[in-house]
Chains A and B, each alone.
Chain A
Amino acid sequence: MVRPITPFLWVLFSAGGTIAALLFPVHLFLSGLAFPLGWLEAPSYDFLHGLIKHPVTRLYLFVLIAFPLFHWAHRFRYTLYDVLQLKHLSGLIAVLCYGAALAGSATVAYTVWNIP
């Protein structure tokens, strides 16, 4: 039965959560702390620019950003229901959360597609 879409949204949430758990710590540590603070030598602009041109990197970047956004959308939606007890606004919240995730994913897709 395709109609209840919740299982699909839960899979997106799980995938996003797994990707965020496995890959965000290292990326965040490097780009957010180690490179700016000079603990480790940051990659040069040319190196990174060359790296992102590769189609595998583009796919990686899309997956890395888009799925965690959907993870946030699903989890935050239920947090608003439970913690702030905003269940009566459920339609609006769902649209805002998944809409924002869709917008973010579209932006990533557009960006990686148009890497010169």
Chain B
Amino acid sequence: MPPTVTLAVTRYRPEQESEPALQNYEVPFRKDWVVLDALNYIKDRLDGSLSFRWSCRMGVCGSCGMMVNGSPKLTCAAFLSDYFPGPIHVEPLQYFPVVRDLVVDITDFMRKLKKVKPWIIRKEEKPLAEGEYLQTPDQLDTYKQFSMCINCLLCYSACPIYGLEPSFIGPAAIALAQRYNMDSRDEAARERLEILSEHDGIWQCTFVGECTKVCPKNVDPAGAIQQYKLTGAAHWFKSLLLPWGTK
């Protein structure tokens, strides 16, 4: 009898129930399988009605984030053998509204991401004839870590501040803002600072540090936020003491 493992998966079908409930599925236990493989097995062989997001299955698209045994994880990176003998609880990403089964709504994050203007902004674009922007490896090094973000939102699920105060702009948005602030080609650091210094910006963060712990790409959003607090504070003092120098 080949080994099996039980997955306890959240089911939520708004057309027939008002609250999510766990449903057990028995899937084969294979050493090379990840939770995503188990979910696909369920959908293919056991219960085609199960809804969940996934895409690249190799940890670069950020689609398959879910709570596995209470911790936010990419299901394509969570090996069944790490949770054997189980049962393995698979639930939708924490702190987001659940649309159906394991699918959450991420419009809130998309709106916040757009707010921080995650693109290169220049006061004046260089004309094409002048050629490309040049950047040394050291200049790249200052922001490279923050550019690794795949928008998987595991950090939002780990952040209790976001859970308690959904208006908080959140770790990934701030890390991505920093990615552009520290990019030598960008000239909009002041603009982003005003957005992020708002009531629900960086100052709500109390450095719990969970976001960095769960990040699958080592972006270290907690570090980005603390660095940004220092920048924001320095700017505040500069604007107070030298108001003419900050425009």
Contact = CB atoms under 8 A, between A and B. Distances in A.
Given A1-B239, A78-B206, A82-B206, A7 B233 contact: yes
Instruction: Tell me the dominant secondary structure on chain A's binding face.
Output: helix
A14 to B, nearest CB: 8
Interface residues of B, number: 18
A11 B160 CA distance: 23
A57 interface: no
A30 B165 CA distance: 42
B227 to A, nearest CB: 13
A6 interface: yes
Nearest to A85: B164
A4 B239 contact: no
Given A6-B203, A7-B232, A82 B197 contact: no
Contacts of A75: 206
Contacts of B240: 2
A10 interface: yes
Instruction: Tell me the dominant secondary structure on chain B's binding face.
Output: helix
A87 interface: yes
A8 B236 contact: yes
A26 B166 CA distance: 41
Contacts of B233: 7-8, 10-11, 14
B191 interface: no
Contacts of B229: 7, 10
A87 B233 CA distance: 24
Contacts of B161: 82
B197 A7 contact: yes
B108 interface: no
Contacts of B194: 1
Nearest to A75: B206
A46 B61 CA distance: 71
A78 B203 CA distance: 10
A113 B212 CA distance: 46
A75 B239 CA distance: 25
Contacts of A79: 206
B198 interface: yes
Contacts of A85: 164
A34 B236 CA distance: 43
B203 A7 contact: yes
Interface string B21-41: 000000000000000000000
A73 to B, nearest CB: 14
Given A7-B233, A10-B203, A87 B165 contact: yes
B206 A7 contact: no
Interface string B184-196: 0000000000100
Given A4-B198, A11-B237, 5 more contacts: A1-B194, A1-B197, A1-B239, A7-B203, A10-B233
- Top 7 A-B pairs, shortest CB-CB distance: A7-B236, A6-B203, A7-B233, A11-B233, A78-B206, A7-B232, A4-B197
Interface of B: 160-161, 164-165, 194, 197-199, 203, 206, 229, 232-233, 235-237, 239-240
